[in-house]
Chains A and B, each alone.
Chain A
Amino acid sequence: MVDYDIIIVGAGVVGSSIARELSRYDARVCVLEKCTDVCEGTSKANSAIVHAGFDAVPGTLKAALNAAGNKAMDRIAEELAVPFKRCGAFVVSLHEEDLPKLRELKERGIQNGITGLEILGREEALKLEPNLSDDVYAALHAPSSGIICPFELTLGFAENAKQNGVDFVFQSGVTAITKTAGGYNVETERHAYSCRALINAAGVYSDIIHNMVCENKIEIIARRGEYILLDKTAGDHVSRTIFQLPGVYGKGVLVSPTVHGNLIVGPTSEDIDDKEATKTTRDALADIVKKSAFGVKNVPLRQAITSFSGLRAHSPTDDFIIGESAPFFFDAAAIESPGLSAVPAIGERIAEMVKEKFSLAKNERFNPLRPMRVHVSELPVPQRRELIEKNGAYGSIVCRCEQISEGEIRDAINGIIGATTLDGVKRRTRAGMGRCQSGFCSPRVMMLLAESLGTDLTGTRKNSPSSLIVYEKTREDT
């Protein structure tokens, strides 16, 4: 039995942000994650938008935490070295009769404390975004909306938490929880733990964890959203996130640049029974293609480089579930959109509750800064030259599409929370995320991983333990 003060279930962006905020206090904290890495669930497959906060109903947790999270994001991005850009957003309406709805959104935003909202007429909107649909009538402009790298945000929280003493244990899905006099016993496939406080940040599984402990049951519905990601050559098709005004066609899909310069289109929305069904479907992908044209014209879908899906943790109550749901058991459940935007505030709120409950002292050695990893291709020439002179591995390009060097891949493998899988390297470095989708670089990345794992290539994995990439060595010459 391993003893902790606090155990967090789930190393997605929510669990990681809570871990980081709790590492400000003097407590032994552990994060249990069922996958092999941080950011393996909803956190890795979403719109990557930091919403301004005009969408949520005033008075809800979503509204309050979205607004607070958005405001905090500049500081968080700075402290944790996360790519973040306030590119702004448009909500586009195509018909004059929709104008009241646009005004209503603006009013709602003002009630939620969002500043800078303005409604632009057709001409003005087209001047700023020439590729808007020819039918655009007006647009709500939200300048505080942003785009972020969700992988780096999750990893940033997690690595900073680890810097400050939090333990992360992977491949440790929770199988049983029992109430004890002083808190909870938690069992995983591998170990048993005890803790004084238990925090539920288990994403689409947060109902399972909650219901192991609490009398009042909750339900989390996996709501699948599918996306198409386009090459960087399409990245400047729009310069802001373009939403469609919800209407006859449902919620519509967004078209947005990503913080790394690609173009993302999606998501669809479909409630499903299987919490693991992160597949894409023909109908949904066709739906994205069709709907993308309602807000933005000529989306160059021929430049697609990948499509993917993520499962949002939707609650029938339509709001986040945050609080002490049973004694010493804290929920951060049903964190669906705008969860990514709200996450700095969710982490703070849960940490505050736990701190109050246990009168935690400050962690005097807390360091809010996560060291910046080197991104060779972004360095000015003199620094890049100097770096390669010091370490030649930064001069050896492994991923040609994203121009990622061997040095950066080694850094990712040897990081504070090091990559152990091909996907782990991809999320940390972008090697394999470009237009060839790892065709050229995967064998070399596999070799670097194998070297660090002390195996040959048969020991490398895409993500999970059973996602082996090659089966065996070819037959020896006879």
Chain B
Amino acid sequence: MYHDIVIIGGGPAGLAAAVSARQAGAGDILILERENELGGILNQCIHNGFGLHTFKEELTGPEYAARYITQVEELKIPCLLSTTVIHIDENRVITAVSRKHGLMSIKAGAVILAMGCRERPRGALIIPGYNPAGIFSAGTAQKLVNLDGYMPGKEVVILGSGDIGLIMARRMTLEGAKVKLVAEIQPFSGGLKRNIVQCLDDYGIPLLLSHTVVDIHGKDRLTGVTIAEVDQNFKPLTGTETDYSCDTLLLSVGLIPENELSREIGVSLSPVTNGPLVNEQLQTNVSGVFACGNVLHVHDLVDFVSEEAESAGKNAVRYIQSGGSAADSISFSEIPLRTGGAVRYTVPASIDPQRAQEETIVRFRVGEIIRGGYVCIYADGKQIARRKRQIMLPGEMEQVVLKQKDIAGASGEILITTEVAE
């Protein structure tokens, strides 16, 4: 089996990539989706707040997904559902498996990685205590409540202030549970400001910054947790421990791009994002393999996932149309995007100033709260842009536009950095 473009994942990134690839002229596209319907994690995000940028209206997750699913259907883009990709080799031969079609081998002209991310589990944090029932990652609880129709518990403590945790604080409250508090080890929230207001403040749920869970009680089912304040090195402060009784602990302590398949192909990953290192075409170091959405880096808003995926879709088409020659795809005149100040990473991580489109969107996150600062861009040491930002938050993605005309002459590096006003 051969297809020009194979998209791995039928969530928001995969759907938008498929639509834009079709619109850019790709005739032969295949979407592989492991769940039994398209839409990815949006299907369990029944709250609203999606689509303000893309559609200028507030949609729920399933509604947002439906907009793209409709287009995929109208454009007659084939999908294989309930199909799990279990292997990809460096020649872009994909092995997938499903109940209906068994084991399949699919050769792809170009691959778009759109597998999304997973939640960091308790074990990765090495939180001491017992290991009873009643500890869920926030997304698992969200699935149980919103899709399966079950309440994980009645008295809830949430560790981590990622967006899913904040959303679940509200969801569990609306379903009749008592959410006692959200503890966040960082001195700032990992989620969107609007979610803190709408999901915690509106319901009187306290957010304890610089606090974490230091012990878990209950042998069979959770009976409580001990929470303590931490110092700036995240070490719990003795004497600040407080016990809270609860039957449920939800974890919203980070999302990890799911790049196990990417590793198999030999894609280089960023130690900061855990996602592929891509150039301005969103192409990885492996020719013909593109990445977009949360598998590339964790986004705050799905709108930006869609936008990024559209770009990946178009670039994959360009790659196919150019005959997929390696010379076209992996350029020797790519220069790195370096980070400075509070900037933790950039996507893309490199750019070819000659090949770049008129405008390239550079997305990044900061590692600390910056008030009244600037995002500055330097090309070979020369400042080419300085943009004021009221506030930059670690929980929210930032972006700047890189104009091709500004960097056309650059041959060393582009620096993206934050500067604080004097």
Q: Which residues of A contact B (CB under 8 A)?
A: 228-229, 233, 276, 278-282, 284-285, 301, 304-308, 377, 381, 384-385, 388-389, 392-393, 395-397, 400-401, 403, 406, 435-440, 442-443, 447, 456-458, 461-475
Specify which chain A residues have a CB less than 8 angstroms from the CB of B131 in the assembled complex: 278-279, 308
With the chains together, A304 CA to B149 CA distance in Å? 32
Contact between B133 and A457, CB atoms less than 8 A apart: no
Specify which chain A residues have a CB less than 8 angstroms from the CB of B134 in the assembled complex: 469
Specify which chain A residues have a CB less than 8 angstroms from the CB of B99 in the assembled complex: 388, 392-393, 395-396, 406
Contact between A443 and B220, CB atoms less than 8 A apart: no
Contact between A228 and B103, CB atoms less than 8 A apart: no
A304-B123, A469-B133 known; A280 vs B128 contact (CB < 8 Å): yes
Contact between A400 and B123, CB atoms less than 8 A apart: no
List 16 interface pairs A-B (beta carbons < 8 Å), by A numbering.
A282-B215, A307-B123, A385-B102, A388-B97, A395-B103, A396-B99, A400-B84, A403-B86, A437-B121, A437-B123, A437-B124, A457-B148, A458-B150, A465-B220, A471-B151, A474-B145
Is B53's beta carbon under 8 Å from chain A? no
Specify which chain B residues have a CB less than 8 angstroms from the CB of A468 in the assembled complex: 133, 221
Segment among B10-18, B62-70, B136-144, B178-186 that sits at the interface with chain A: B136-144
Contact between A229 and B123, CB atoms less than 8 A apart: yes
With the chains together, A229 CA to B126 CA distance in Å? 10
Is B152's beta carbon under 8 Å from chain A? yes
A279-B128, A437-B121, A467-B221 known; A397 vs B152 contact (CB < 8 Å): no
Contact between B130 and A279, CB atoms less than 8 A apart: yes
Specify which chain B residues have a CB less than 8 angstroms from the CB of A457 in the assembled complex: 144, 148, 150
Chain B contributes a number of interface residues (CB within 8 A of A) equal to: 51
Contact between A469 and B126, CB atoms less than 8 A apart: no
State which residues 205-256 of B face A: CB under 8 Å.
214-216, 219-221, 236, 247
Is B132's beta carbon under 8 Å from chain A? yes
Contact between B97 and A395, CB atoms less than 8 A apart: yes
With the chains together, A285 CA to B216 CA distance in Å? 14
Is B318's beta carbon under 8 Å from chain A? no
Is B34's beta carbon under 8 Å from chain A? yes
Contact between A397 and B123, CB atoms less than 8 A apart: no
> A439-B121, A461-B133 known; 16 other A-B pairs, CB under 8 Å?
A278-B131, A282-B236, A305-B121, A306-B121, A395-B97, A395-B100, A437-B122, A457-B150, A462-B133, A466-B220, A467-B133, A472-B150, A473-B150, A474-B150, A474-B175, A475-B175
Specify which chain B residues have a CB less than 8 angstroms from the CB of A276 in the assembled complex: 219
With the chains together, A112 CA to B129 CA distance in Å? 39
Specify which chain A residues have a CB less than 8 angstroms from the CB of B124 in the assembled complex: 304-305, 437
Contact between A443 and B123, CB atoms less than 8 A apart: no
Specify which chain A residues have a CB less than 8 angstroms from the CB of B34 in the assembled complex: 397, 400
Closest CB-CB distance, A62 to chain B, in whole Å? 30
Specify which chain B residues have a CB less than 8 angstroms from the CB of A467 in the assembled complex: 132-133, 220-221
Chain B 110-132: CB-based contact to A (< 8 A → 1; otherwise 0): 00000000110111101011111
Closest CB-CB distance, A232 to chain B, in whole Å? 9
Closest CB-CB distance, B3 to chain A, in whole Å? 20
Specify which chain A residues have a CB less than 8 angstroms from the CB of B54 in the assembled complex: none
Specify which chain B residues have a CB less than 8 angstroms from the CB of A471 in the assembled complex: 150-154, 247
Specify which chain B residues have a CB less than 8 angstroms from the CB of A403 in the assembled complex: 84, 86
- Kindly list the 8 A-B residue pairs having the minimum CB-CB distance in the complex, ordered from nearest: A306-B123, A437-B121, A392-B99, A462-B133, A397-B84, A470-B150, A467-B220, A467-B133
- Quick one: which of A384, A436, A470 contacts B103, CB cutoff 8 A? A384
- Quick one: which of A278, A284, A439 contacts B139, CB cutoff 8 A? A439
Closest CB-CB distance, B254 to chain A, in whole Å? 12
Contact between A281 and B98, CB atoms less than 8 A apart: no
